[in-house]
């Protein structure tokens, strides 16, 4: 038997909206990283297969999956092939780390 009570219908709708919000939030969330430093930094997000050079006052918005590792690197120097090193948060000599093979960041 279907209830015609508006409170029951409202409760079901709210439950479904809440369920949808949790399901959506479990996939990824946008994160904007802003460099407020006076020097360039290189943020990294794993398992997102990217890391970038972020100059002072620049922003980077990235969709971050649940369970990701996020850290900043500084004092980096890379060649055109993407190989180099960072004074802090190095990724095994790469501009970007991929998968779980990256070492833990040094902060």
Peptide bond into 100 cis (omega under 30): no
Q: Is 30 helix (H, G, I), strand (E, B) or coil?
A: strand
Structural domain containing residue 35 = 28-101
The answer to whether residue 1 is domain-embedded is no
- Alpha-helix residue ranges (DSSP H) falling in the chain: 6-25
Where residue 70 sits, what CATH number does that domain have? 2.60.110.10
State how far Cα 3 lies from the chain centre: 44
Model pLDDT, residue 95: 56
Phi and psi torsions of 18, nearest 5°: -65, -45
Nearest Cα to Cα of residue 41 among 13, 76, 11, 12: 76
Does a structural domain hold residue 11? no
4 assigned to some structural domain: no
Number of alpha helices (DSSP H) and beta strands (DSSP E) in the chain: 1, 7
> pLDDT tens-digit profile of 50-82?
678 899 999 999 888 888 888 888 898 888 877
**Mean model confidence pLDDT for the chain:** 72
Q: What is the C-alpha separation between 105 and 88, in angstroms, rounded?
A: 7
Please state the domain count of the chain. Answer: 1
The answer to the question of residue 6 being in a domain is: no
- Please state, in angstroms and as integers, the Cα–Cα distance from residue 23 to each residue in 14, 16, 26, 27, following that order: 14, 10, 5, 7
pLDDT, mean of residues 13-37: 69
Per-residue confidence (pLDDT) for residue 94, from 0 to 100:
60
- Let me know if residue 49 belongs to a domain: yes
Higher-confidence residue of 5 and 30: namely 30
């Amino acid at each position: 038997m279907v209830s015609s009570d508006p409170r029951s219908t409202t409760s079901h709708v709210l439950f479904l909206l809440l369920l949808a919000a949790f399901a959506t939030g479990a996939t990824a969330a946008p994160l904007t990283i802003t460099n407020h430093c006076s020097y360039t930094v290189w943020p990294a997000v794993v398992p997102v297969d990217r890391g970038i050079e972020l100059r002072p006052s620049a922003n980077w918005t990235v969709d971050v999956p649940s369970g990701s590792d996020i850290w900043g690197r500084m004092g980096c120097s890379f060649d055109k092939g993407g190989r180099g090193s960072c004074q802090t948060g190095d990724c095994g000599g790469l501009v970007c780390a991929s998968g779980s093979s990256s070492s833990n960041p040094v902060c």
